[in-house]
Amino acid sequence: MEPQSNPQKEIEKLAKEYQIAQEQLRLVTLQLEQLKAQEAELSGAKEQLEKATGKTYSSIGGIMVETDKEKALADVNDKAELTKARLNSINKQYTELRNKEKTLNDKITEIYKGVQ
């Protein structure tokens, strides 16, 4: 990083980036929570389907239709797999954003120390 003639402007620029990173981190955290809840819900649905005997129903567009147990189980497994892939992706984003936030915080702290 080349030295800035105006540390205040550099701090303002970094502070804006830091705020953006924090907001992105907040949104990613919300997505993680939603995906974890969805993963738990799918796990429960899979458990119930495996125990089920008799008729099995699936919700399609707000209506319940009778379906084959194996098909319903395959659908739940597909959704669980997709959710797991999305969770992995969002976890990676979360880690990258945490690192970016820490780096920005360190830079701001470094500039403040240099000004004092």
Mean pLDDT by 10 residues, the chain (116 residues): 68 94 97 97 95 88 91 95 97 97 93 78
Q: Is residue 2 part of a domain?
A: no
Residue 116 has a pLDDT of: 67
Residue 8 has a pLDDT of: 84
Q: Is residue 82 part of a domain?
A: yes
Q: Is residue 1 part of a domain?
A: no
Residue 42 has a pLDDT of: 96
Q: Is residue 81 part of a domain?
A: yes
Q: What domain range is 27 assigned to?
A: 7-115
Q: Is residue 48 part of a domain?
A: yes
Q: Is residue 24 part of a domain?
A: yes
CATH number at residue 19: 1.10.287.370
Residue 18 has a pLDDT of: 95
Q: Is residue 107 part of a domain?
A: yes
Q: Is residue 67 part of a domain?
A: yes
Residue 48 has a pLDDT of: 93
Number of domains in the chain: 1
For the chain, strand residue ranges (E) read 56-60, 63-67
Answer whether 0.85 is exceeded by the pTM.
no
Query: Is residue 58 within 8 Å of residue 74, measured between CB atoms?
Result: no
> Measuring CA to CA, which residue among 55, 31, 38, 45 is closest to residue 75?
45
